[in-house]
Amino acid sequence: MKAELEQLKIEAFQLLNRAQDSSAVDALEIDLLGRRGKLSTLLARIPELPVEERSGIGTLASSIRKELQDAIVAKRGQFSAPTSQSLDFDPTWPGHSPSIGHLHPVTAFLERSADFFASLGYTIADGPEVETATNNFDRLNIPANHPARDLWDTYYLNPARAGLLLRTHTSPVQVRYMDSHKPPVYIISPGRVYRHEATDASHDTNFTQLEGLAIDRDLHLTDLLGTLEAFLKHTFGKVKVQVRPSFFPFVEPGVELHMSCLLCGGKGCSACKQTGWLEMLGAGMVHPTVLKNMHVDPAKFSGFAFGIGVERMTMLLHGIPDVRLLLSGDQRFLEQFHY
Ligand code: PHE
């Protein structure tokens, strides 16, 4: 009987190897392992065997049954398409899309603005965030002890070197640049500035300005206003703008541009301090004293300058109600600004 079982196993494997499709495997399974299959038929004869021949037959038969069953399952697998059960992962499960970073809304705004000014022929000038008091104030016509310094309260570095501070505006880049350039110049200078402020929805201690400086023959206030109007149209499309006279020691005359608050539609909200208007930038014709400090002859050249509040414009552009969100690093906020 043992020999017959071994023989059955050999033949079964040969037949299984030759099977061409899964229905052949099914038929073979019934023929070999079915209730009236070859194995059962063989085993049905056990009671007829002499007692001494019976031992070990049961164990051998069940190990052969197991081997055949495994071989049948494997063979069937060759014919069937992979299914979720035969793979250890589910190929229909949606994948994890990699999260792709994007520009911070302030950076995106700066890049768009730089493109615009580049189209007018402006180049980009850079300057340090740690400035000398001379560049930040004195050369911009704000002498020590002048009350105008109160407008730009800032952080001084290391009292022993009292001349260094965190720049309060990007205007010192104007004088730095003119130390090594001659008119005509058309530059913009984007960068971070610092002020000692009580923070609120529209003020932070740390923000971004986009400075502009043009020095050429026969530049007038109308050139300044035309440039700014073109910029605001480029950025916002149609907006209501007010030009108000203002005082900055480094320009004469000086103006402020206010835009109607797009956050509340001009009705008044916390961002515009209930006035319906937001101050967006300071500007003016470069003061003759400052031109002289820049080694430029005010009799031959004139110039205009502007300093744009980048966060405020970004807020209006996207309807962001609080400037502090921009530096919060909160991904739930930032992820809304895919461009
Ligand atoms: N530097 C000024 C400020 O920070 C803005 C400004 C720039 C005004 C250039 C006039 C000309 O408030």
Q: What's the pLDDT score for residue 111?
A: 96
Query: How many angstroms does the Cα of residue 270 sit away from the middle of ligand 1?
Result: 24
Is the pLDDT reported for residue 159 higher than 80? Answer: no
- Which residue owns the Cα nearest ligand 1 atom 9? 306
Is the pLDDT reported for residue 319 higher than 60? Answer: yes
Query: How many angstroms does the Cα of residue 36 sit away from the middle of ligand 1?
Result: 99
**Residue whose CB lies within 8 A of the most ligand 1 atoms, among 169, 207, 208, 279, for a mutation test:** 169
Can you tell me the distance from the alpha carbon of 211 to that of 9, in angstroms, rounded to the nearest whole number? Answer: 89
Eight-class DSSP state of 94: P
Query: How many angstroms does the Cα of residue 52 sit away from the middle of ligand 1?
Result: 111
Q: What's the pLDDT score for residue 246?
A: 96
Where is average pLDDT lowest: 36-40, 100-104, 222-226?
A: 36-40
Band the pLDDT of 161: cuts 50, 70, 90.
low
Q: Phi then psi for 208, rounded to 5 degrees?
A: -120, 140
186-212 b/e (C-beta count within 10 Å ≥ 16 → b)? bbbbbbebbbeeeeebbebbbbbbbbb
Summarize pLDDT for 281-294 with one digit per residue, the tens.
999 999 999 999 99
Eight-class DSSP state of 41: H
Is the pLDDT reported for residue 23 higher than 70? Answer: yes
> How much is the average pLDDT of 70-89?
75
Q: What's the pLDDT score for residue 89?
A: 76
Check pocket membership of 306 for ligand 1, CB cut-off 6 A: yes
Spell out the alpha helix ranges (H) of the chain. 2-18, 22-33, 38-43, 51-54, 57-79, 105-119, 133-136, 172-178, 221-236, 288-293, 310-318, 331-334
The structural domains of the chain, with segments of one domain joined by +, span 2-80, 105-334
- Residues designated catalytic: 152, 169, 195, 209, 251, 305
**Residue whose CB lies within 8 A of the most ligand 1 atoms, among 137, 248, 257, for a mutation test:** 248
- Of how many residues is the chain composed? 339
For residue 193, which atom of ligand 1 is closest to its CA?
4
Q: What's the pLDDT score for residue 102?
A: 92
Summarize pLDDT for 232-250 with one digit per residue, the tens.
989 998 888 899 999 999 9
Is the pLDDT reported for residue 177 higher than 90? Answer: yes
Summarize pLDDT for 297-310 with one digit per residue, the tens.
999 999 999 999 99
Q: What's the pLDDT score for residue 50?
A: 84
> Is the model more confident about 18 or about 255?
255
Check pocket membership of 172 for ligand 1, CB cut-off 6 A: no
Can you tell me the distance from the alpha carbon of 338 to that of 100, in angstroms, rounded to the nearest whole number? Answer: 9
Is the pLDDT reported for residue 84 higher than 60? Answer: no
Q: What is the largest CA-CA distance in the chain?
A: 131
Q: What's the pLDDT score for residue 165?
A: 93
The CATH number of the domain covering residues in 105-334: 3.30.930.10
Q: What's the pLDDT score for residue 83?
A: 58
What predicted TM-score, i.e. pTM, was given to this entire model? 0.71
> How much is the average pLDDT of 128-157?
91
Q: What's the pLDDT score for residue 57?
A: 85
Check pocket membership of 177 for ligand 1, CB cut-off 6 A: no
Summarize pLDDT for 35-76 with one digit per residue, the tens.
888 888 888 888 888 888 888 888 888 888 898 889 888 888
Check pocket membership of 283 for ligand 1, CB cut-off 6 A: yes
> How much is the average pLDDT of 262-281?
87
Determine if the peptide bond prior to 245 is cis (ω within 30°): no
- Please check whether residue 154 is in contact with residue 168, taking contact to mean a CB–CB distance below 8 angstroms: yes
Q: What's the pLDDT score for residue 3?
A: 86
Residue type, 187: I
Band the pLDDT of 115: cuts 50, 70, 90.
very high
> How much is the average pLDDT of 138-145?
94
Query: How many angstroms does the Cα of residue 252 sit away from the middle of ligand 1?
Result: 12
| Six token digits for residue 30 | 């019934």
